[in-house]
A = this chain, B = another copy of it.
Amino acid sequence: MNKKVTLTVQALQRMPYYLQYLRKAKEQGIESVSSTSIAKDLKLNDVLVRKDLAAISTTQGKPKSGFAVNELIDNIEDYLGYNNTMDAVLVGVGSLGRALLGNDEFEKYGLNIVAAFDTDESIVNQIISGKQVFPLKRLKGLVKRMHINIGIIAVPGEFAQDVADLLVGSGIKAIWNFSLVKLKVPDHVLVQDENLAASLAKLSLHLRDEMEKN
């Protein structure tokens, strides 16, 4: 059973970093870590780390030694649901879609892409990275039959809303959206936007600032 805690969005986003850090520590045979040292290595405030860990940890940290690595790892994995996998379908087998299909890291994070969909005749029925590509018209049936909860949108912006509507109509509960379009969906459906353009914008601005210094 999971503890009934509600982390802030930001805290939640830090969890994968903690997990990565803890796993690495475990590999090195370290059995307990302090929030201070985590904070230093991850460039965070130590109180912040302590609050984050306190929120998901079943046991308290001990003065002088800190938190038990193994337990923390279990707690975080449990909280993030890395143990019970989520099934997903992917729509749009372009360059980005192929990458997502081929990314074996996702399984570690509890995501399992069971099938892909596209309208392009030349791609349909192929098997890419071990996943079959189906024609889009078969999406609804498949999603309903297999009780899939997550849809990944990797199509060009102009088709994103249509695909979203289709996914929602098929009973999907969450959408991972790689297009730049703000999707209109019912309240109970979560849209997680992945905004690569925003990252590029930050890079661009930093470079401009650096240039202007010289």
Nearest CB in chain B to that of A173: its residue? B210
Interface membership of A60, Cβ < 8 A: no
Q: Hey, which chain B residues are within 8 Å of A17, CB to CB?
A: 180, 182, 195
Q: With A197-B109, A201-B12 as given contacts, are A207 and B95 in contact (CB-CB < 8 Å)?
A: no
Task: Please tell me if A203 contacts chain B, counting CB pairs below 8 Å.
Answer: yes
How far, in whole Å, are A188 and B206 apart by their CA atoms in the complex?
9
Contact between B182 and A192 (Cβ–Cβ < 8 Å)?
Answer: no
Q: How many copies does the complex hold?
A: 2
Given contacts A13-B198, A96-B103, A200-B111, contact A42 B182 (CB under 8 A): yes
A103 to chain B, nearest CB (A): 5
Within 8 A of B (CB), among A66-125: 80-82, 86, 95-96, 98-100, 102-106, 109-111
Q: A146 at interface (Cβ–Cβ under 8 A)?
A: no
Cα–Cα distance between A80 and B109 once the two chains are bound (Å): 33
Asked if A181 is at the interface (CB within 8 A of a chain B CB), the reply is yes
Interface residues of A in 160-214 (CB under 8 A from B): 173-174, 176, 180-182, 188, 190, 192, 194-208, 210
Which residue from B16, B104, B150 sits with its C-beta under 8 Å from A195? B16
- Complex A-B: 27 CB contacts under 8 Å: A13-B201, A13-B202, A16-B180, A16-B198, A20-B157, A24-B157, A43-B182, A80-B205, A81-B204, A82-B204, A95-B102, A96-B105, A99-B103, A109-B200, A110-B204, A111-B200, A149-B207, A150-B203, A150-B207, A173-B206, A174-B203, A176-B199, A176-B200, A188-B210, A190-B203, A192-B202, A194-B196
